[in-house]
Amino acid sequence: MWTGAYRSAAPTDIVANGDRSAHNMHMYTTPEGEDGGARREDHGDGWSPAFLAPTREPGWCLVEEGYSRAREHEIESLFTVANGYIGTRGSLSEGGSMTNPATFVAGVFVSNPEPDSVPGLLSIPDWTDLQVFVERTRLSLEQGCLLGHRRILDLRQGLLWREWRHRDPVGRVTRLWSLRLASLGDRHLLLQTTIVTPENYAGRVQIEARLGPLHNGLPWTVPPSMDPGDSSDSIVMQTTTGRGETIALAIAGEAGVGHMAGPAHAVERLDESILERWTCEVPFGESLRMTRIVSVHSSRETERPSLAARRRLAEAREQGIPRVIRMHVERWNDRWGAAGLEILGDDEAQRALRFAAYHLISAANPEDERTSVGARALTGDSYKGHVFWDTEIYVLPFYTLTDPATARALLMYRYRTLPSARRKARRLGYDGALYAWESTDTGEETTPPVAVTPEGEVVRILTGEQEHHISADVAYAVWQYWQATGDEAFLVQAGAEMLIESARFWASRAHLESDGRHHIRRVIGPDEYHETVDDNAYTNVMAQWNLRRGVDVVRLLQSRWPQEWAAAAGRLLFRAEEPEAWLRTADSIETGFDPHTRLFEQFHGYFGLEEIDLPKQRPPAIDVWLGRERLQRSKPIKQADVVAISALLWDQFPREVHEANFRYYEPRTAHGSSLSPALHAMVAARLGDAPLAEAYFRQAAEIDLANNMGNAAGGVHIAALGGLWQAAVFGMAGMRLRESGLAFAPHVPATWRRFSFSIQWRGRRLRVTVGRDPSHIEVHLLADAPMEVELIDGPRAVIHPGTRFRAERDHRQWRAWEKTEA
Ligand code: IFM
Q: Are strands 787-791 and 741-744 parallel, antiparallel or unpaired?
A: parallel
Measure 2 CA to ligand 1 centroid, in angstroms: 26
pLDDT at 30 exceeding the cut of 50: no
Higher pLDDT, 49 or 332: 332
Residue type, 103: T
Average pLDDT over residues 633-654: 97
Neighbouring C-beta atoms of residue 645, cutoff 10 Å:
26
Q: Which one, of 24, 38, 16, 26, lies nearest residue 147 by Cα?
A: 16
Ligand 1: atom nearest CA of 390 is: 1
Rounded to whole angstroms, how far apart are CA atoms 102 and 87? 8
**Best residue among 673, 679, 703 to mutate for probing ligand 1, ranked by most atoms within 8 Å of CB:** 673
Torsion of CA 599, 603, 604, 607, to 10 degrees: -50
3-state secondary structure of 536: coil
366-376 pLDDT per residue, tens: 999 999 999 99
Ligand 1: atom nearest CA of 719 is: 10
In this prediction, residue 230 has a pLDDT band, given cuts at 50, 70 and 90, of: low
Task: Average the pLDDT over each of 7-16, 160-169, 496-505 and give the range with the smallest value.
Answer: 7-16
Rounded to whole angstroms, how far apart are CA atoms 501 and 499? 6
Q: Whose CA is nearest to atom 10 of ligand 1?
A: 375
Ligand 1: atom nearest CA of 463 is: 3
CA–CA distances in Å: residue 263 to residues 279, 539, 594: 5, 64, 77
pLDDT of residue 413: 98
pLDDT of residue 28: 24
Task: Average the pLDDT over each of 66-75, 230-239, 287-296 and give the range with the smallest value.
Answer: 230-239
In this prediction, residue 23 has a pLDDT band, given cuts at 50, 70 and 90, of: very low
CA atoms within 13 A on the CB side of 800: 6
Average pLDDT over residues 110-137: 92
- pLDDT, the chain, mean: 91
Rounded to whole angstroms, how far apart are CA atoms 426 and 22? 60
CA–CA distances in Å: residue 500 to residues 437, 577, 663: 19, 13, 35
Helix (H), strand (E) at residue 723:
helix 718-726
Rounded to whole angstroms, how far apart are CA atoms 728 and 682? 7
**Best residue among 383, 469, 675 to mutate for probing ligand 1, ranked by most atoms within 8 Å of CB:** 675
Ligand 1: atom nearest CA of 638 is: 5
Measure 526 CA to ligand 1 centroid, in angstroms: 8
Measure 53 CA to ligand 1 centroid, in angstroms: 38
Measure 211 CA to ligand 1 centroid, in angstroms: 34
One-character DSSP codes across 211-255: EB-TEESEE-B--GGG-TTSTT--EEEEEE-SSS-EEEEEEEEEE
In this prediction, residue 378 has a pLDDT band, given cuts at 50, 70 and 90, of: very high
In this prediction, residue 805 has a pLDDT band, given cuts at 50, 70 and 90, of: very high
One-character DSSP codes across 761-806: ETTEEEEEEEETTTTEEEEEE-SSS-EEEEETTS-EEEE-TT-EEE
pLDDT at 341 exceeding the cut of 80: yes
3-state secondary structure of 529: coil
Q: Are 430 and 509 in contact (CB under 8 A)?
A: yes
What lines the ligand 1 site, CB under 6 Å?
375, 383, 388-390, 526, 528, 673, 675, 719
Residue 528: active-site member: yes
Q: Are 772 and 752 in contact (CB under 8 A)?
A: yes
pLDDT of residue 149: 97
Q: Are 786 and 801 in contact (CB under 8 A)?
A: yes
In this prediction, residue 620 has a pLDDT band, given cuts at 50, 70 and 90, of: low
Measure 705 CA to ligand 1 centroid, in angstroms: 19
pLDDT at 618 exceeding the cut of 90: no
Ligand 1: atom nearest CA of 717 is: 10
Enter the DSSP assignment of 38: S
In this prediction, residue 355 has a pLDDT band, given cuts at 50, 70 and 90, of: very high
Ligand 1: atom nearest CA of 388 is: 1
**Best residue among 384, 388, 718, 721 to mutate for probing ligand 1, ranked by most atoms within 8 Å of CB:** 388
Average pLDDT over residues 356-381: 98
One-character DSSP codes across 89-118: ----TT--TT----EEEEEEEE---STT--
Measure 443 CA to ligand 1 centroid, in angstroms: 17
Give phi and psi for 193, each to the nearest 5: -110, 135
Measure 709 CA to ligand 1 centroid, in angstroms: 13
Measure 441 CA to ligand 1 centroid, in angstroms: 18
Q: Is 751 exposed, middle or buried (0-12, 13-18, 19+ CB in 10 A)?
A: middle
Q: Which one, of 56, 261, 300, 85, lies nearest residue 181 by Cα?
A: 85
Rounded to whole angstroms, how far apart are CA atoms 433 and 437? 12
pLDDT of residue 47: 47
693-716 pLDDT per residue, tens: 999 999 999 999 999 999 999 999
CA–CA distances in Å: residue 432 to residues 104, 210, 418, 653: 33, 50, 9, 28
In this prediction, residue 509 has a pLDDT band, given cuts at 50, 70 and 90, of: very high
Buried b (16+ CB within 10 A) or exposed e, 590-618: bbbbeeeebbbbbbbebeebeebebeeeb
Measure 740 CA to ligand 1 centroid, in angstroms: 34
**Best residue among 439, 447, 528 to mutate for probing ligand 1, ranked by most atoms within 8 Å of CB:** 528
pLDDT at 41 exceeding the cut of 80: no
Rounded to whole angstroms, how far apart are CA atoms 346 and 751? 6
Q: Which one, of 330, 326, 328, 320, lies nearest residue 47 by Cα?
A: 320
One-character DSSP codes across 327-350: HHHHHHHHHHHHH--EEES-HHHH
Rounded to whole angstroms, how far apart are CA atoms 475 and 502? 7
Task: Average the pLDDT over each of 228-237, 447-456, 494-503 and give the range with the smallest value.
Answer: 228-237
Rounded to whole angstroms, how far apart are CA atoms 500 and 159? 43
Ligand 1: atom nearest CA of 389 is: 1
Q: Are 28 and 150 in contact (CB under 8 A)?
A: yes
Strand segments (E) across 415-540: 450-452, 458-460, 511-512, 518-519
**Best residue among 382, 390, 469, 530 to mutate for probing ligand 1, ranked by most atoms within 8 Å of CB:** 390
pLDDT at 817 exceeding the cut of 90: yes
In this prediction, residue 6 has a pLDDT band, given cuts at 50, 70 and 90, of: low
Q: Whose CA is nearest to atom 5 of ligand 1?
A: 673
pLDDT of residue 615: 79
In this prediction, residue 46 has a pLDDT band, given cuts at 50, 70 and 90, of: very low
Higher pLDDT, 9 or 654: 654
pLDDT of residue 822: 64
pLDDT of residue 2: 47
Q: Are 520 and 496 in contact (CB under 8 A)?
A: no
3-state secondary structure of 646: helix
What does pTM read for this prediction? 0.95
Q: Whose CA is nearest to atom 9 of ligand 1?
A: 375
pLDDT of residue 224: 63
Residue among 528, 531, 702, 790 flagged as catalytic: 528
Measure 478 CA to ligand 1 centroid, in angstroms: 20
Rounded to whole angstroms, how far apart are CA atoms 439 and 446? 6
Q: Whose CA is nearest to atom 6 of ligand 1?
A: 673
Residues in the chain: 822
Q: Residue 793 CA to chain centroid, in angstroms? A: 34
Q: Whose CA is nearest to atom 4 of ligand 1?
A: 526
Helix (H), strand (E) at residue 291:
strand 288-298
In this prediction, residue 390 has a pLDDT band, given cuts at 50, 70 and 90, of: very high
Ligand 1: atom nearest CA of 386 is: 9
Q: Whose CA is nearest to atom 7 of ligand 1?
A: 673
Ligand 1: atom nearest CA of 674 is: 10
pLDDT of residue 5: 56
Measure 673 CA to ligand 1 centroid, in angstroms: 7
Measure 641 CA to ligand 1 centroid, in angstroms: 12
Ligand 1: atom nearest CA of 675 is: 4
Measure 388 CA to ligand 1 centroid, in angstroms: 7
